[in-house]
Amino acid sequence: MRFSLLKLGHWTRYLVLLCCMFWAGLATADERMALVVGNSSYGSVASLENPVHDAQLMARTLEELGFDVTLLTDASQVELKRAIAQFGRSLRAESEETVGLFYYAGHGVQSFGNNYLLPVDVALNDAADLDLVAVEAQSVLRQMASARNATNIVILDACRNNPFMNVSELNDNGLAEMQAPTGTFLSYATAPGDVAMDGADGNSPFTKALAQEMRKANEPIEQVLKQVRRAVLDETDGRQTPWDSSSLVRDFVFNEKQAEEELSGSAAEIAEEQLWTMAQESRDAVQLMLFLRAYGKSPYADQARALLSEISMEAQATTDGQVSITDETAMFEAAHEEDGTAALEAYLQAFPKGRYAELAEIELATRRSGAGEDTDLAPAPNILQSLMDTTLQAQIESGPITYDKPLRSELEQINGLTIAEVVTQSPMFPPVAGLPEEYWKTQSCSNCHNWTRDALCTQAKTYLTADLQRSLSKQHPFGGALKQALRSWAGADCQ
């Protein structure tokens, strides 16, 4: 059975990172690999209730903590040896930064100072045959050491009792303390020579405490095992004392979480970079404007403005030498909505004699003087304002809007239409204040913005950023209802 590290999907999930930053809040820089073994159903010796349950619990926990986990239960000697050998090969194939972890729950015995893990098909009548029918624990250490990785962890919950009471030479209790290579942390369920309890509630006291403690954020492994020791001592009334020894040369934390402010900063940087990449690859003037509006002080802002100027110059004239109305309208609309002067200056540079050049110059002069407020697009009739948030908002609250889901709205022009259909409609009022009717009355939103589904999704995602929240209230083009629907659609990853 194979567990794999849960990973986020493609970059469009970057907004989720603002809330939970990488699924469970992990920040594991190095690769992590684990082999987890639990043996319960023995044939020739007494079976154990909990090792398989313990192994399953440990596998789930380690997976949550970023490990690539191989889980093996009720393994025969051949299966166990094969899995250990494969684990060694996998570690050797990785870098020296890889963390290796081996966990075993089940019967274990010692003989002549050596520890042995017992497969479920073990059968023994003479102590001299032990190394022929069992698996020497030292072989695990040899495989892990061969990888020459910096950090290895071995956890043995394997000293429940002596299953070979009839073999007189095997009269030592528990496991012997092992000597481990440099960079290894060894953890035992109980002290050398002592017996550990199997547990009465589905898990052993040791594994139950370990799974709980290793989830705690930013706890060094040494502190984790100290807390485990305390918990097991409490639960067993002092009868079982977990033991560990370490030759680690590096710090190790099972659940490493960055500070909240660092996570937020990292997530914001990811969102910014991904939005810039999409805008850059699209070479779409509107998307570049939207990026500049959301991230006007971004390290990519100068590149965005330069690319915007380049694209605008290329698109100034059609084959008959006339300026493209839709390209210019889209650019001016986006420039009008962006704060500051840079976008308007870019528009005037691209269209010095454009249809909106006079409006752009007036607005630019107002912004430069600092006397004007953020001017809005043409206001909608009052009735649109009063109807904008009621029916549609109720639909949004009942579940995210999808691309092909009919909208429920008090606005007759979009009620019953899907997003795909709405963007083909003509605006209800001028998209830009003062725009002559002949330039917009017969146009569609899709014509103006050159919207494909992917491009529309990119624009919709900008309404999820804090800097663009205020644009949702603007009355272009359908009383703000389309923007509200797009924001809900984007929140569901544009499904």
119 preceded by a cis bond (ω within 30 of 0): no
pTM: 0.51
In degrees rounded to 5, what are phi and psi of residue 243?
-130, 150
Q: In what order do the strands lie in the sheet with 114-117?
A: 108-111, 114-117, 135-136
Confidence at residue 371, expressed as pLDDT on a 0 to 100 scale: 46
DSSP 233-245: HHHTTTS---EEE
Confidence at residue 28, expressed as pLDDT on a 0 to 100 scale: 42
Number of H helices, E strands in the chain: 19, 9
Confidence at residue 293, expressed as pLDDT on a 0 to 100 scale: 63
Alpha carbon of 308 to those of 270, 359, 368: distances in Å? 22, 20, 21
pLDDT in single tens digits along all 495 residues of the chain: 333 333 333 333 333 333 333 333 333 446 999 999 999 999 988 889 899 999 999 999 999 999 999 999 999 999 999 999 999 999 999 999 999 999 999 998 888 788 999 999 998 888 788 889 999 999 999 999 999 999 999 999 986 567 776 676 676 667 888 888 899 999 999 887 677 676 667 799 999 999 999 999 999 999 999 999 999 999 988 888 999 999 999 999 999 876 544 545 566 677 788 778 887 877 776 677 667 766 777 888 888 888 877 776 665 544 344 444 455 666 776 676 666 777 777 778 777 777 667 777 777 877 777 644 333 333 333 333 333 447 777 787 777 788 888 888 877 778 888 888 887 777 776 655 445 565 566 666 655 555 678 777 876 776 665 444 444 545 556 666 777 788 788 878 888
Confidence at residue 91, expressed as pLDDT on a 0 to 100 scale: 96
Alpha carbon of 353 to those of 69, 348, 358: distances in Å? 65, 8, 9
Residues, the chain: 495
284 Cβ contact partners less than 8 Å away, ≥ 6 residues apart: 311, 450, 455
CA atoms of 289 and 284, how far apart (whole Å): 9
The C-alpha angle with vertex 337 and arms to 468 and 455, in degrees rounded to 5, equals: 65
Strand pairing category for 184-188 and 243-246: antiparallel
Nearest to 147 by CA among 33, 7, 274: 33
Alpha carbon of 424 to those of 152, 409, 477: distances in Å? 60, 17, 12
Confidence at residue 161, expressed as pLDDT on a 0 to 100 scale: 65
Confidence at residue 388, expressed as pLDDT on a 0 to 100 scale: 45
Q: What residue has token string 């493609």?
A: 10
For residue 393, give both structure tokens.
């908002």
The count of other CB atoms within 10 Å of the CB of residue 194 is 16
Q: Is 399 left (phi over 0), alpha (psi -120 to 50) or beta?
A: left
Burial, 398: exposed, middle or buried (Cβ in 10 Å; 0-12, 13-18, 19+)?
A: exposed
Helix, strand or coil, per DSSP, at residue 417: coil
- Specify the DSSP element, H or E, that contains 69: strand 68-73
